[in-house]
Amino acid sequence: MKEIIKNPSENRTDSFDKFVFYACVIDTLFLPYFWLISVPYTMPLTFYWLLRRYKKLNESKEYKLFLIIFIFMSISTMFSFILAPQYIYKNLVYLIQFTTMFLYYFIFVYYLNQFDFKGKNFLIVFIVSVVLLAVFYNIDKSFYHKVVLFWNHRSGISINELSYANFVGYRYSFIWMDANNIGYMMNAIVLYLWCNEKTSFFTKTFSLLSLLFVLISCMSNGGFLVFIFNIIVFIIVELVQLLKGKYKLKFRITPTSLFLFLITVLSLLYIIPQIPKYLETGVALEALERIDRNSGDSRIRIWQFIIQKVNFLEYIFWGKGGVTLVDGSKFSPHNGHFYWILGYGFISYVLFMYLIFRKRKRTGLKQYIWVLSILIGFTVNILLGEIKMMGIVMLLVACSSSQKYLEARDS
């Protein structure tokens, strides 16, 4: 049998790609932001990887589309230096952040198209880490505060430390910037695991309970709405498959699923008797109160204000940078669509939506419904400022797009 032996240079190339890929995966899932600005530690590594791989990337249609987006982003950022010189630094940071976000996608796709990767294991560990930190949050908010301040200096709690002094009513945000973002991301990951990976009933149960626990902790109204929407969509998709005769009942026991099942059973034995008491705790009461008093009216009023004040014809080709300006003043649109159009123009917005949110031909409809969680969050919030979250989104998009990954998953 003829053996294929790689030469030393090819081995070094594979090792470099493997190092960059796993460094980026671990960074986006588990590591904090750089202590000075809100960028990942692997950001410089992504640009170095690009310098070494740009010739191969030039063969990709998606990479050429990204270059067009980058040109409009750069022009918009340069215009912002003239229109709002006070925001030069922030606009440069946003340009670097969003460029890094796209580079994550190309790194992930490039690697997954050539090498094996067990994404499910990383996502389960991520869920466990989010839940563990949420446990600390529910038991002792002050301790949670200290852990987050120690681990992630750029967290929302850290940046607003003075506002949180002697106050323990803040929401659970994991180690990220915004509490809503972990709610949307957990929804997306759980639905991705259910629909895209081979997960047992035990793993599904564990992930579902974890999601509910995190949603209560982060008190995200949008997260709860997405959860209800996901459950409805998932049931509809399963019923359609059942009617088409494509549904297959699978019952697999693996060491991981058995371990998660035991944790779930033990947790339920402890949690169920505590539910009445938990609903009377500060965390649960704050979450219920927030759901009761919040509505979508405030978002709609903000969007109506933007529509009335902004001449969108000015934003066809380029925008005014990552800091959103309305009537010359800084303004939060609470909408990712408006944010990108006002920041970088309508053309780059269309290409941006095409790269991230479109369903690939090789990916089944069921395997891509997880992205609806992110699309809803992108619509009622912004999400883009949470570059760690967007890195995970890019990983899931890459896993849902890579022919090699899909074939390995189905085998």
* pLDDT at 266 exceeding the cut of 70: no
* pLDDT at 136 exceeding the cut of 60: yes
Select the more confidently predicted residue: 232 or 245: 232
Rounded Cα distance between 368 and 365, Å, is 5
Q: How many Cβ atoms sit within 10 Å of the Cβ of residue 372?
A: 17
**Least trusted range by pLDDT, from 3-12, 265-274, 327-336:** 3-12
The label of the residue with tokens 């809503």 reads 180
Question: Which residue type does 115 have?
Answer: F
Backbone angles phi, psi at 330, to 5 degrees: -65, 135
Torsional sign, CA 69, 70, 72, 73: positive
Question: What's the average model confidence in pLDDT over 337-361?
Answer: 95
Per the CB < 8 A criterion, the answer to whether 319 and 248 are in contact is no
Backbone angles phi, psi at 42, to 5 degrees: -85, 5
Q: Decide: residue 164, CB within 10 A, 0-12 exposed, 13-18 middle, 19+ buried.
A: middle
Average of per-residue pLDDT values in the chain? 84
pLDDT tens per residue across span 378-398: 999 889 989 999 999 999 999
Select the more confidently predicted residue: 165 or 198: 198
